[in-house]
Structure 1
Amino acid sequence: MGSSLTKIFSVSKMASSPDVQQFIKTAISQDKVVVFSKSYCPYCKLAKDVFNKVKQPIKVYELDHRDDGDVIQNNLQQITGFRTVPQVFINGNCVGGGSDVDKLYNSGKLQPMLIG
């Protein structure tokens, strides 16, 4: 997705779980929409495409392009209770994955979440 609305951050390394958890907390607090993704995942593409449709800028972390992607994914599981990607955060709150974002969009509930 070559959209200018998408910022992609990749390769980095973090030492410990507390560092990774702090990274996640900081990441989800800095941008309205944050997507922890894998570049080859169709559900991740679905989520990113939905935000592109509504012209919502998103920050994407492609975990398969990062040295610490597995560590981040394990820590996301501790935070959200699920390990699958994408993990989509709006205003710091996890709203689920690709199908969840698509359902929010189709039901008209997504756009109000993005206002403000």
Structure 2
Amino acid sequence: MSAAKDKAQKIINENAVAVFSKSYCPYCNASKQLLNSVGAKYFTIELDKVDDGAAIQSALQEISGQRTVPNIYIGQQHIGGNSDLQAKSGELKTLLKEVGALEA
């Protein structure tokens, strides 16, 4: 397994909510705004700000079949991208509570 795939999998495994993002991406920003609005605790990695970002993005395609960002995981389950997260906005608080990712 590649170092990038190991790193991506470690981020997914160690965080209740993981967002693989790019700092300039409007869809990524919309996802982070939604998570912030419900008080989610989440880990973000900005793939355009880390040296191995391109390799991690390729590794994510191997892991989830999705190459685009945002690439979102809740409770180690692949949620998808921004439109998938927005579609779950009604059940988001429940999902986040289940994985212990809601700020008290």
Q: Using structure 1 for the length normalisation, give the TM-score.
A: 0.80
SS in 2 for 1:49: helix
SS in 1 for 2:23: coil
Q: Using structure 2 for the length normalisation, give the TM-score.
A: 0.89
Contact 1:32–1:58, Cα closer than 8 Å, also in 2: yes
1:71-112 residue CA offsets vs partner (Å, 9 max, x unmatched): 00001011111210000000111100111111100xx12121
2:12 partner letter: I
**How many residues are matched?**
98
Q: Aligned match of 2:23 in 27, 36, 39? A: 39
Determine the structure 2 residue equivalent to 1:48. 32
CA–CA distance in 2 between the matches of 1:21 and 1:78? 8
Kindly state the Cα deviation for residue 24 of structure 1 after the two structures are TM-superposed. Answer: 1.3
Contact 1:43–1:98, Cα closer than 8 Å, also in 2: yes
Unaligned runs of 5+ in 2: 99-104
CA–CA distance in 1 between the matches of 2:63 and 2:22? 18
Check if 1:64 corresponds to 2:48: yes
Q: Aligned match of 2:66 in 82, 89, 94? A: 82
Unaligned runs of 5+ in 1: 1-16
1:62 partner letter: E
Determine the structure 2 residue equivalent to 1:115. 97
SS in 2 for 1:67: coil
